[in-house]
Structure formats: C-alpha cells, structure tokens
Chains A and B, each alone.
Chain A
Amino acid sequence: MSPSPPAIEVTDLVKSYGDVEAVRGVSFTVPRGEVFGFLGPNGAGKSTTINMLCTLARPTSGAARVGGFDVAGQRDDVRRHIGLDFQDPTLDGHLTAEQNLRVHAELYGIDRAVIGERMRQMLEMVELWDRRDRPVMTFSGGMRRRLEIARGLLHSPRVLFLDEPTIGLDPQTRASIWSYIRALQETEGTTIFMTTHYMDEAELCDRIAIMDRGEIVVLDTPEALKAGVGSDRVVLGTADDAAALVALRERFGIDATVAEGAVTFHVEAGEAFVPRLFAELDVAITSVAVSRPTLDDVFLRHTGSTIRDAETAGAGDQNRLMMRALAGSRR
C-alpha cells in the first residue's frame, strides 16, 4: 500500500439486480481531505454506489477501495475507517445523547481512556454538550441530525458519508453543519462524501460528480462545471409553452425545455438576445429572466431535468413531499 492512498478509489464498479444494471461501470478517485458532492436524479444509482462503498452491498464487478481498503475483501477494515450518516435516523430515542455516543464508542472498540474526551469534543462541536443528558426523543430534527454527525465522527473515520445531511433543516442549522464539515476537514483531514439536492450546498463542495442512469456523466469542481455550460440561462414565462418551444426551435434553432413550469434554454450573451426574442417570437411572453450559469444548469444540461424536478419526480421517494414543500417555498 502506498503511504497515503486516496480516500476513495473506484474502478469500473458495477452493480446489477437481475437484468437491471443499477450502476454501470463507474470510476473515480477522491483524494484525502476533499469534500466530494455526489449528485444525480433519483434512481441514478447514487444510493447503490454509496451502499457498495459502505460495504452494505456487494459489487457485481469492479473494485472500490475506501480508506485504503477493499470494500469486498476487507469489509471490516473499511467499516473501521468510515462514518455513516444516513437520511433515516439511526439513533436510539430512549437513550440520552451521551449514551448513544457511548454505545457507538463501545461497538467500535475505542480505547476507554479517550472516549470521554473525544465525546466531549464532538458534542461541543455540534453544540450539544449541554444537552448530553437528555433523551434523544426530546431533540428536534436538527439536533438529531447534529448528533448523528457527532456520532459518525466519534471514531475518527477517514471518510464520512453524509446522505442529505441538511435535508429539511432550517438555514441556520444548515450553515452550522457546514461549519462543522469545514472544521473537520481542517482538524482531522476527514474526507467527506456527501449527497445533496441543494445546489447552493453543492457549490460548497470541492468537487462534484453527477450521476445519471447508472453512470457518472460529469465530474469536476463547481467552477469548472459552470464554466463548461458557458452560455447564460434564459427562463421565459409564456402564454403557450408548447408553441414557444416550437417557435424557438424553428426561428432561432434553440432547443428549449420546460422545467419547473417555465421555458428554459441556454444562449450566448443572454441580455442581448432578449430584445430579439420580443421582436421575433410570436408567442406572448409574460416574464423573462436571464442568469449566469449555475449548478442547476450544469445538472439540467447533463441529466435533462432540474435537480428539484428530478427529486420530485422520483416515485415512492420518502422525501418527495418534503422536497416539494421546500422547492415550493424557495420559488
């Protein structure tokens, strides 16, 4: 083994369920200490990929090394060096915050001499030290989330997997969770592998991979990805979206899509294009907005849907309602 292996190293990873290939040959590397964002619509294969990296699912073929260990052949070693924080709660509500952490420390076999101090530091970081003696069932959603993060970090993992760490939380809690993430990166060099549906959060990642239909369609820094889109985004409200799509294609040669109830397309020098649009488009325009490319555009370009539409379209998804509510309130 090299002196400092990458935190995550994935080579041609495949997972099939019967005839269905959920993950079709994925390869990527995450260096140590990086905050890596893992994005994609529902059913893209994100969860399956994460489950393989966490040793919860066995790869059909290909290989993955996490923290320097093979996920198939060295399951226990992988588990010793990762922290997990899933969307679904895994705390014991009847135990206090401290008891939950202590159970974790014992399960992971942490040296008793350091448990107390380590526990204090993690609880202080997530600002729950004062509440350590309270049963977790009395905690708010945000407090539970913070406690889960503290617990996931208790055994000093090399890689922390965070599945939608801030979903449904208020902006203040989201901000503080991000400050913990950055603090961790600085103090312990922990690698963070996270999924999110918030584009403003994806911006904060060092690098982002977007997965779609079982493959990684693009992987780069947020800046590079946005630069790759190049053109500006124009969002039109029209009296007749379908007619507008046809007119845009015929007159300007532009392929527009209808996303989140508005006609959206990309064009160079958007501000200069708008007057032409008003002069030449024979469909009534009710509103127009021009913006610089965002990660939403990157997502749209590579997956064909906006991230919120992608999320809400996922059938049977437990967070669908919540996401819809959030998406609604943010418009």
Chain B
Amino acid sequence: MSATVADVVAARVPERSWRSEARAVKTVCHRDLIRFVGNRAQIMMWLIQPLLFLFVLGSGLQSLSAASTGGVDLKTFIFPGVLCITVVFSAMLSAASLVWDRELGFLRELTIAPVSRTSILLGKCLGGATIAATQGVVVLALAGLVGVPYDPVLVLGAVGLLLLLSFTVTSFGLLVAVQIKQAQTFTAVMQLFVIPMYFVSGALYPVSGLPTWLGVLNRLDPLTYAVDPMRRLVFNHITISDEARRRLDPGVTWFGWHLPAGLEVAMVLVLGLAVLGVAVWKFARTE
C-alpha cells in the first residue's frame, strides 16, 4: 500500500454551479469524441456510404441522366444531397450511443453524478453533432472531385448548414434514444423513419414536377428544408445554364410560393431546439 495516512490526497466535490454543469457538458461531449476518434473502423464505414452514393450511383446513372441534367454531371447534382445524408446518418448513429450507454451500464455512472440530466443530454447532443458535422466536412472536402469549387462563401455556408443539420438530427436521435430501451428499436426507427425521410427529402432528385402524393410528403419532410438551402448554396457557385438551374434547383414551394433559404434554415433550427427541449424534458423525467 503506497498511500499512507499522511500523504493521501483528498478530493473535494464542490456544490453544483453553472461552472460544474458546463464542465459536465464538456466532459460528456469529450468522452464521445474520444470514443469516435478511437473507433477508426466505424469512421471508415460511415464514409463508405456517401462515397457509394457519390461515385458509384452518381457515375452509374450519369449516362441515363445526361440528357435531362442539361450537361450537369449527376455527381455534382447529388453532391448537396450526399452531404446531407452523411450528416443525417452519422448524427443518428451518434445519438444511438445513448442507447448503448444505457445497455452497457455507463449511463448509470452519468446519471448518478451530482450534475443535472440537462447537462448530460446537452453534452451528448454537442458531441453527436460535432462528430456528424466533422464527417460532413470530410465529404465536403471532396467537392473538387465532383466539379464543385472550393469557394470560401460556399465552404463556410456549407459548414454552417452541416452544423445546423447535425444539431437537429442529433436532437431528434436523442429524443428517440431517451424513449426506447433497446438498441434494436433504434435500428427499426432508422429503417422506418430516417431512411424514408431521406428518400422523400429530394436529396437525390429535384423537387418540382413530382407526383402529387410525393410532392405532399416532400413538403412535410423536415429534411427537405435542409437539403434545399444546401443545394441552392452549391448551385450558386457552379456555372450552368439558366434552364438547367431551373430544372435541377427549382426550390421548395408552398402552393406556388418560393420559400426563402433563410426561412428554411430557421425552420430547421427551431425544429432542432424544440426536439432537444422535449428530449431533455423526457430524459429528466424517465431515467
């Protein structure tokens, strides 16, 4: 026994304060980041999907679509949508870590600590959103390969949108995670809601001239309002004919009214805050 009565260092746990809560948020977030960085296999796995979409699907369908895209490479067209998918799946997966924390017992270590549940969930949200946005940025770095220029305005705007979408989707994932008890349920939610939402969002096709049922679903899908500003941003920085622009980037309309990008962004933000609020409330009550 190396420690004797004289030289043992005692620790003191201070009373709860804003400072200790902030430290808890940071710690929970930091831990998720450590785990992410340590898990290289997972990082690679989640980069494969966007690459498949971009280069396999994009290249494969190019010959079919060349006529209708007005000379625009299909890879360029789906690039904004692929940025969004990367973030959506990564954010959901990061949020699922809450379910794993519960299943593997670590959540107990968090919930028994003298910090509020709100701080724990905020930390999870911050960590998940950071991881998701980081993966989005990695895909954004491929812009040059698909004919999208590295324009500073484009890059900054895209990073901003990626952060926003990461935050909202992570919050949604956390809301799901606090309500379910098993990891399998989370997979089911992905299959039943998230993948359909992604397909409906118009990430892979223009949102004008859709069949009525799909058009309605598309306008109801929150993801639509993240994909659309991302596409506008990208299309603002590539040179294409006006006609191709009209066809490929028609913008989202409500009964003929074009939604401004600012409003779309605000909608995604408010949705994210609302969903996070409910998640925090549920977490504080149930856990």
- A7 and B47 CA atoms in complex are apart in Å by 53
CB of B67 within 8 Å of the partner chain: no
Quick one: CB contact mask for B4-38 with A, threshold 8 Å, 1 for yes? 11001111111110011001101110110011001
Which residues of chain A have C-beta atoms less than 8 A from B11's C-beta? 105, 108, 110-111, 114-115, 118, 154-156
Tally A-B pairs: CB < 8 A: 115
9-residue interface stretch from B100-108, B211-219, B223-231, B245-253? B100-108
**Which residues 103-158 of A have a CB within 8 angstroms of B?**
103-111, 114-115, 117-118, 121, 124-125, 151, 154-156
Q: Are B38 and A94 in contact (CB under 8 A)?
A: yes
Pick from B8, B12, B38, B39: contact of A110, CB under 8 Å: B12
Report whether A121 and B114 are in contact in the complex, using a CB–CB cutoff of 8 Å.
no
Chain B, 73-120, CB within 8 A of any chain A CB: 104-106, 108-110, 112-115
Tell me, yes or no, whether A93 is within 8 Å of chain B by CB. Answer: yes
A54 to B35, CA, bound (A): 29
- Contact at B110–A91, with CB atoms within 8 Å? no
**Chain B residues whose C-beta falls within 8 Å of the C-beta of A81 in the assembled complex:** 13
Would you call A271 an interface residue if the criterion is a C-beta within 8 Å of the partner chain's C-beta atoms?
A: no
Contact A88 B108, beta carbon cutoff 8 Å:
yes
Complex interface bits, A168-184 against B, C-beta within 8 A gives 1, otherwise 0:
00000000000100010
A183: chain B residues within 8 A (beta carbon): 1, 3
Contacting A at CB under 8 A, from B228-245, are none
Q: Which residues of B contact A280 (CB under 8 A)?
A: none
Quote the shortest CB–CB distance from B254 to chain A (angstroms). Answer: 46
Minimal Cβ-Cβ distance residue in B for A135: B38
Interface residues of A in 65-97 (CB under 8 A from B): 76-77, 79-81, 84, 86, 88-95
- Whether A4 sits at the interface, judged by CB under 8 Å, is no
Complex CA–CA separation, A94 to B42 (angstroms): 13
Report the separation of the CA atoms of residues A88 and B14 in the bound assembly, to the nearest whole angstrom.
Answer: 28
Known: A94-B39, A124-B2, A187-B4. A108 touches B9 (CB 8 A): no
Interface centre among B2, B31, B104, B114 (most CB of A within 10 A): B114
Residue among B9, B34, B35, B108 with most chain A CB within 10 A: B9
In the complex, are the beta carbons of B24 and A107 less than 8 A apart? Answer: yes
Assembly CA distance A121 to B11 (angstroms): 11
Write the nearest CB–CB distance from A179 to chain B, whole angstroms. 7
Could you tell me the distance in whole angstroms from the C-beta of A109 to the nearest C-beta in chain B?
4
User: Which residues of chain B are near A108, meaning CB under 8 Å?
Assistant: 11, 13, 113-114
6 A-B pairs with least C-beta separation: A106-B27, A79-B114, A109-B20, A80-B13, A107-B113, A90-B109
Q: Sample 12 A-B pairs with CB under 8 A, ordered by A number.
A: A79-B112, A90-B109, A99-B34, A106-B24, A107-B27, A108-B114, A110-B13, A114-B10, A117-B9, A124-B3, A155-B13, A187-B8
Hey, which bits of chain B sit against chain A, CB under 8 A? 1-5, 8-16, 19-20, 23-24, 26-28, 30-31, 34-35, 38-39, 104-106, 108-110, 112-115
Q: Could you list 16 further interchain pairs (A-B, Cβ under 8 angstroms) beyond the known A94-B35, A106-B23?
A: A76-B16, A77-B15, A80-B114, A90-B108, A92-B31, A94-B38, A94-B39, A95-B31, A106-B26, A109-B114, A110-B12, A111-B12, A117-B9, A118-B9, A121-B2, A125-B1
Binding site for B on A (CB under 8 A): 54, 56, 76-77, 79-81, 84, 86, 88-95, 99, 103-111, 114-115, 117-118, 121, 124-125, 151, 154-156, 179, 183, 186-188
